[in-house]
Amino acid sequence: MPWTKVLIDQQDLEAAQKAGLRNISYRAALLEAQRQLLRSRPEVYLIGEGIDDAGGVFGSTAGLAAEFGPSRVMDTPIAENGLTGIAAGSAMCGLRPIFIHMRMDFLPMCLDQIANHAAKWRYMTGGAVTCPLVIRSIIGRGWGSAAQHSQALHGLFTHFAGLKVAVPATPYDAKGLLAAAVNDGNPVMFCEHRWLYDFKGYVPEEAYEVPFGKAVVRKEGSDVTIVAVSLMVYEAVKAARELEAEGISVEVIDPRTIKPLDLAAILASVKKTGRLVVADAGNLMTGISAEIAAQVAEKGFEYLKAPVLRVGLPDTPTPASPALEADFYPGVEDIKRAARRLAGGKA
């Protein structure tokens, strides 16, 4: 199906184009989703520092300020926590804000309003007041961006009861999950890996939603399951193709949202393969990879033929030097190594 397909290389893209599919970039998909939401729902507005700049948050908001004006596409002072509270308060009174941050590294500045307020308000008021706030932020590596412009804290936010967390990997999911996030009614952390912005894929022009909590099988296989999050979906599919040549059949699962997490889809795959690698774009230490491994161990231990392995970031701040970055960021080779280790003894 075109909407489950991950386009890895030029060959994939050309094949998709030949099939007459509409292929646009991840950034264009985000832009299209926001434009459609702004047009169809008067209560939707975008808010964030510099979102009306010519650059438009890596192009994802470009042109929207001119089309919708400053009250719908609102630039702000650099006051992350206060503005999160203001966006949250407006959400409690009927608006549907999308608060946009160029970097997820800025979100610890707003942790009080996200974790103590937006996440808790509905429960704390016994359901009387909801907070349909969507927070878009960009995770992941740049180019020597070092420790404060690169963090992928999506796993952290799953810890707070009351938040949903989306990690779209494809342009199709970026558009559909953003629409679903805005329409959801709960606070949603929407985490976009910077390196995904140029990636292209099939995206229908009309508005649609991708449901939360529904994983998708990116590639079928029978020997090893790789659950891959965000950018790692691409790395995992690449690894799977290369491992195919070695006689290892890999299934790649993209959870698309890590909260809610489609554990049933993961367990169904592990039941088939008996082996699991979790590849995340974030830290290993208490990250979402740890949570997925724990939940599979609790609910699917009898399916496992080997221990669960994880691929993710080491427990150190991000370095700047390309020499150190090369070791810091895992990729295709790390995933292949993990899969080989598990499938080495396949019967």
Partner 1 sequence: MSLTPEIKLELLRKMLRARLFEEKIVAVYAAQDMKTPVHLYLGQEAVAAGVSQHLNADDYMFSTHRNHGHALCKGADMKPLAAELYGRAAGCAKGKGGSMHFVDVSKGCLGTSAIVGGSIPLAAGAALAIKQKGQAGRLAVTYFGDGASDEGVLQETLNFAALHRLPVLFACENNFYATNSPQKARHAEGLICKRAEAFGIPGVLVDGNDAEAVYGAAGKAVEHIRAGQGPYFLEFRTYRWKGHVGPDCDWEQGCRPKEEYFEWVKRCPVESYINKLTADGVLKGTALAQLKAGIADEIAEAWAFAKAAPYPAAEELFTDVY
With CB under 8 A as the rule, give the number of residues binding partner 1: 39
Q: What is the DSSP letter of 317?
A: P
Q: How far is the CB of 244 from partner 1 (least distance, A)?
A: 39
Does 260 contact partner 1 by CB under 8 A? Answer: yes
How far apart are CB 100 and partner 1 at their closest, in Å?
16
Active site residue 251: no
Q: What is the DSSP letter of 130?
A: -
Catalytic residue among 117, 149, 154, 193: 149
- For partner 1, give the closer residue by CB, 111 or 267: 111
The answer to whether 20 contacts partner 1 (rule: CB under 8 A) is no
> Should residue 161 be labelled a site residue for partner 1 when binding is judged by CB under 8 A?
yes
Q: Are 283 and 155 in contact (CB under 8 A)?
A: yes
Q: Convert residues 205-244 into a mask of x (bound to partner 1 by CB under 8 A) and - (unbound).
A: ----------------------------------------
| Smallest distance, partner 1 to C-beta of residue 61, A | 18
Q: Is 149 an active-site residue? A: yes
- Residue of 244, 250, 168, 248 lying closest to 4 (CA atoms): 168
Q: How many CB atoms are closer than 10 A to CB 162? A: 18
- For residue 188, which phi and psi values (nearest 5 degrees)? -130, 130
Residues 87-126 that bind partner 1 (CB under 8 A): 87-95, 112-113, 116-117, 121-126
Three-state SS across 252-287? EEECCEEECCCHHHHHHHHHHHCCEEEEEEEECCCC
Cβ-based neighbour number of residue 10 at 10 Å = 8
The span from the CA of 341 to the CA of 346, in Å, is: 10
Binding site for partner 1 (CB under 8 A): 43, 45, 71, 76-77, 79, 81-95, 112-113, 116-117, 121-129, 161-162, 164, 186, 260
Q: Which residues are catalytic?
A: 80, 149
